Amino acid sequence: GVPETVWVMFQYTFAVITPALIVGAIAERMKFTAVLAFVTGWLFLVYFPFAHMVWGGGYIGGTLGAIDFAGGLVVHMSSGYSALILAIILGPRLGFGKEKMAPHSMVLCMIGTGILWVGWYGFNAGSAGAANGLAGSAFLTTTLAAAIGGFVWAGLEYFIKKQPSVLGFCSGVVAGLVVITPAAGFVSANGAVLCGIAAGVIPFFAVVYLKKWIGYDDALDTFGVHAVGGTVGTLLTGLLAVEDINGQAGGLALFGKQFISVLIVLVWSVVATIIIAYVVKATIGLRPTPEVERLGLDINEHGEEGYAD
């Protein structure tokens, strides 16, 4: 193993990044104080219980026997479903559906995706807890799923509209990383390829079509990529796990455990998010005034802007 302080800080990074995924979904329309209050409540009512239930010997990982190598349930599903509910409760951004809301900077998007991809190796391979063969296997499967996810997503864009995009490629890469997260230390290279293909297809349709059909405003597609991707990855882990890699054999028995774990995380995350959001709304309020939103939250809540005129 590793020193306790190292493991504590490693787990701390998981706890920090998970609510940040939720914040991406509700960009530009939630008060800073409300975000702080919501995230604090969410960590205690959602993240910490799941981290214990899955990785700390609790019901999901212990009694039930479901598996999650690096956070498909704990990180991506919990934040993704919570993000959808919070976005619906908040309502859409002003002008959503009426004005074009293009990505701020595709250059920064590409740079950020590269940083994420490299950092994800710490996320997935690091979950082995040592520099060993299991970490190397997770490193390999993570690379395959991310690369194939980006390729398939961009390929679908080309097939449907003849224009593969940088945004699409980046979305596919992140979707691939999400889908492989619960499976990274349990599946083979072949399994990772299947995870990458699924990541390029299922979250693609969730982001491009399901989002329009439901009509929610998720600024960074946290639900489509993380909730859907985390769910797909968790279920595929139940089918594709290879016993020789980490002692878990895929099949109907494990798939059933994974399916039950998905239902638990989905229901718990949704109910807890509704409770926390409405408590915050009733006490300090969730949204700023329309005037503040139009001027921008940066200048109104922090007295500064990202870019000088």
Judged by DSSP in three states, 186 sits in coil
**Residue 308 domain-assigned?**
no
What value does the CA radius of gyration of the chain take, rounded to a whole number of Å? 19
Structural domain of 136? 4-302
pLDDT at 47: 99
Asked if residue 103 belongs to a domain, the reply is: yes
pLDDT of 307 reads: 85
Q: Are 33 and 194 in contact (CB under 8 A)?
A: no
Handedness of CA 160, 161, 162, 165 (dihedral sign): negative
Instruction: Annotate 95-123 with b (16+ C-beta within 10 A) or e (fewer).
Output: eeeeeeeeeeeeeebeeebeeebeebbeb
C-beta neighbour count of 57 within 10 angstroms: 11
Q: Would residue 240 count as lying in a domain?
A: yes
CATH number of 71's domain: 1.10.3430.10
307 domain-assigned: no
- Please report whether residue 309 resides in a domain: no
Does this model's pTM top 0.75? My answer is yes
How many structural domains is the chain composed of? 1
pLDDT value of residue 32: 97
**Are the beta carbons of 203 and 224 closer than 8 angstroms?**
yes
State the pLDDT at residue 149. Answer: 99
Phi-psi region of 173 (alpha: psi -120 to 50; beta: other; left: phi over 0): alpha
pLDDT at 102: 85
DSSP for residue 28 = T
Q: Which residues does the chain have with pLDDT short of 70?
A: none
Closest by Cα among 125, 127, 58 to 265? 58
Torsions phi, psi for 221 (to 5 deg): 55, 45
Exposed / middle / buried, residue 12 (Cβ in 10 Å: 0-12, 13-18, 19+) = exposed
Query: DSSP state, 72?
Result: I
